[in-house]
Amino acid sequence: MRSDWQKAAFFAADLGHWVADGHMPFHITRNYDGQFTGNEGIHGRYESGMINEFENNITYTGKPAVYIKNMPEFIFEYLYTNYRFLDSVLIADNHAQQVAGNTSSASYNEILWGKTSGFTTQLFSDASFAFASLLYTAWVNAGSLQMNKTQLALTNQKTDDLLQVFYSGFLNRFIKINYTVPDDTTVNISVYDVSGIHIETLINSANNPGTNTIKWRPVKRSKSIYFVVLKTENTYRVKKVII
């Protein structure tokens, strides 16, 4: 057993993303954006627009993590359970559109929240429980390794400057990305939006050791959050930038 706590943290972050997706009804359906039911754009309205406005109202107490004996069964069970909320969101969207007369106002978001807040909060709670249980199960299966103070310090030291991201410009906006490659390896640098959707791959090629700089100019002019991800054979770094 390698006790690689840094990689464990990276894999845990990926796991958290996938578990969260499994508790968002539009991530587990063919009708992922309401395109088959006349609800185009509902994915973003429900997942981002409404949540951003009412995130402070989402409160819950967590349940203790449990050991999962049958991993596939556990995962598919919550996928099937969460899928049933799809129609409820679509019905709420239709109602909010009818009352508010649009899909972009505070009134629309308030009505949508009023119709979906109960099960939405439950989905957040269930996602937290599922993530904690999956992580706990992985830890037990790995031998219930303990992290001592020395390992914790080394893990924190590894949060280094292999990837630096800066926002530059006002009218001529771009992101400046500095990345350091410690050895000969294949480097992939990609940009994702706040929903985890891949925007663009900036680099995917072999690189020599050293520090390099690249620039990326987003097409979108409005204020947005992006994640710049650096991947090599032995490195995984993520930086958030708001532009």
3-state secondary structure the chain: CCCCHHHHHHHHHHHHHHHHHHCCHHHCCCCCCCCCCCCCCHHHHHHHHHHHHHHHHCCCCCCCCCCCCCHHHHHHHHHHHHHCCHHHHHHHHHHHHHHHCCCCCHHHHHHHHHHHHHHHHHHHHHHHHHHHHHHHHHHHHCCCCCCCHHHHHHHHHCCCCCEEEEEECCCCCEEEEEEEECCCEEEEEEEEECCCCEEEEEEEEEECCEEEEEEECCCCCCCCEEEEEEECCCCEEEEEEEC
As for how many domains the chain has, the answer is 2
Residue 149 belongs to a domain: no
Both 33 and 133 in a single domain?
yes
**What is the model's pLDDT at position 169?**
59
pLDDT tens string 98-108: 999 999 999 99
Q: Is residue 207 over pLDDT 90?
A: no
pLDDT band at residue 86 under the 50/70/90 scheme? very high
Residue 48 belongs to a domain: yes
Q: Is residue 81 over pLDDT 90?
A: yes
pLDDT tens string 131-144: 999 999 999 998 98
Q: Is residue 220 over pLDDT 80?
A: no
Answering whether pTM is above 0.85, one says no
Q: Is residue 213 over pLDDT 70?
A: yes
Q: Is residue 168 over pLDDT 50?
A: yes
* Of 110, 141, 172, the domain-final residue: 141
Segments forming the whole domain that contains residue 87: 5-141
